[in-house]
Structure 1
């Protein structure tokens, strides 16, 4: 699917879901509806974004501010949970329009926001230049003086509340999650997996891990999930997508899936051009069985539409993890 351009997004009404405690989910309109979100937190006249989509998403987020009656000057923080481009690719463009905002980034991702050339080059190497530009647009650099590399367990004040930043590797080594202490809410980026609303049933939300290249680490992923659950949050807000509750059940599902994904990768056979294909096929079968047990009534074609991109990326990430382990053995 061709990504919309910044020009035609500028005139669309943003899709906003408002929750309690001044929290809103904003669809950043990446690839398809209900795939990727930014979360807006507002307290006492100050605002923060957590994850911001791509450069094409910047007009959507600016429109969301206007829709909610907020001035651009009220945004104090732009927080990117990690520097994958569906989460942080829009930060440079958005920051151009938010004069009082500070970018808050993991220390290991800081250099990529100040000078995104290597990040962009790496993405082009994987997807090709045409696809990269179509999906993500340009990635402007952010001046160093507007960037704050946040320490593990550091708290930043937003209005009358504290946002606490937790180092949560596993999906990426440059990943943090945000704990909103007043709301008892976690903004998890990709650490607490993916839960698309199309897959909800009478049994509740359906969740699965994201193991995209290149830093997937199953042991760290398990530990980070447990760290989030130890906070006993009321809700977790996923970039993919929006609010989930029933967190003990979902956490158990994520732990089981991580073990299953690793077993699938380990059973995929010798290295070769088709190993990622074998992993992807096995992942689709595994998740298909889980969805059937969850009461999902979507057709196989519709499930494929929802899961295809994640199946591809998860298979690639598991293969990279296998290659790294094999190289170190």
Structure 2
């Protein structure tokens, strides 16, 4: 826990220090931000107990968007939180009430066996327990203001949460990925995420710029943890989004397009790692980022197929 009552919870999805949820505690009341998968729920309940709270003390579960590593466990977690309301973006809420399309889409990508292994059974949330948040709408946690703003670019159903007390954003995937293993002498290493299927580079840059207008002290990333030095990291994200677009344009039309995208992204991320003095070897950097490189390449491919909207 930090001075502002923010607890970082490792959801244990995929590996340690890969996927975070957060518990905000204010005057004996709690709010979760993102929740990981069904397999993450015991970790969240243990964190709640460690913070001295009971399940009935949680007022809110706020999901940044409905990708399963962020919100897959929402239905199961809400069953454990008798008085909580789930807060979601207007485009996300219907998929939490009726997750059939979400399940079908993910199963088509991963297969039934992998769905059960990584995510478990995705449960619906009763519509009466879901609050849809419009852009700039505010909820209160024991008087503490939490503002939700629409932040497309990674996904059209994504919002980020401004915590006025700590002057920080809970960013989901909008402010990229930054793994603590890659921290170096010049600070945190960060990269954007273009995970399929709604990557929109100009919208993503606009969302990042909009968050900076609040003059934040820190960002709380789902992948992974708190980062400061916000202005430098935002500039790095803008530069890399532009570089990713250039890589996509260079690979478009090639018969080996996906391989070209993977090769270009790998070179980009290693170049950034070298410039920052990341302590890991090239082999270790590629191992840590392997899944993200693959997903970013897939996302750029989908973006190209859509005609670069």
Same fold (TM over 0.5): yes
SS class of match (1:156): strand
- Is 2:105 the partner of 1:122? yes
Q: Which residue does 2:307 correspond to in 1?
A: 325
Conservation of the 8 A alpha-carbon contact between 2:11 and 2:20: yes
Distance in 2, matches of 1:176 and 1:68, equals: 26
Distance in 2, matches of 1:126 and 1:49, equals: 28
Q: CA deviation at 1:300?
A: 2.5
Q: Which residue does 1:7 correspond to in 2?
A: none
Distance in 2, matches of 1:160 and 1:109, equals: 26
Q: CA deviation at 1:183?
A: 1.3
Distance in 2, matches of 1:209 and 1:238, equals: 12
Return the TM-score normalized by structure 2.
Answer: 0.98
- Is 2:290 the partner of 1:308? yes
Q: Which residue does 2:33 correspond to in 1?
A: 50
- Is 2:200 the partner of 1:217? yes
What is the aligned counterpart of 1:248 among 220, 228, 231?
231
SS class of match (2:123): coil
Deviations 1:125-170 (A, max 9, x none): 1111111221111111110000111111000010121100000000
Matches within 5 A, 1:58-137: 58-137=41-120
Larger mean CA deviation between 162-171 and 300-309 belongs to: 300-309
Q: Which residue does 2:258 correspond to in 1?
A: 276
Alignment RMSD (CA, Å): 1.0
Q: CA deviation at 1:29?
A: 0.3
Distance in 1, matches of 2:126 and 2:261, equals: 41
Return the TM-score normalized by structure 1.
Answer: 0.92
Larger mean CA deviation between 303-312 and 209-218 belongs to: 303-312
Structure 2 residue runs without a partner (length 5+): none
What is the aligned counterpart of 1:239 among 190, 210, 222?
222
- Is 2:274 the partner of 1:292? yes
Conservation of the 8 A alpha-carbon contact between 2:180 and 2:224: yes
Q: CA deviation at 1:268?
A: 0.6
- Is 2:226 the partner of 1:226? no
Distance in 1, matches of 2:147 and 2:242, equals: 29
Deviations 1:37-76 (A, max 9, x none): 0011010111001110001000110011111211011110
Distance in 2, matches of 1:68 and 1:146, equals: 24
SS class of match (1:325): coil
SS class of match (2:46): helix
Structure 1 residue runs without a partner (length 5+): 1-17
SS class of match (2:40): helix
- Is 2:119 the partner of 1:156? no
SS class of match (1:305): helix
Distance in 1, matches of 2:2 and 2:249, equals: 41
Deviations 1:240-263 (A, max 9, x none): 011011111000000000000000
Q: How many residues align?
A: 309
4+ residue segments displaced more than 3 Å? none
What is the aligned counterpart of 2:18 among 35, 50, 53?
35
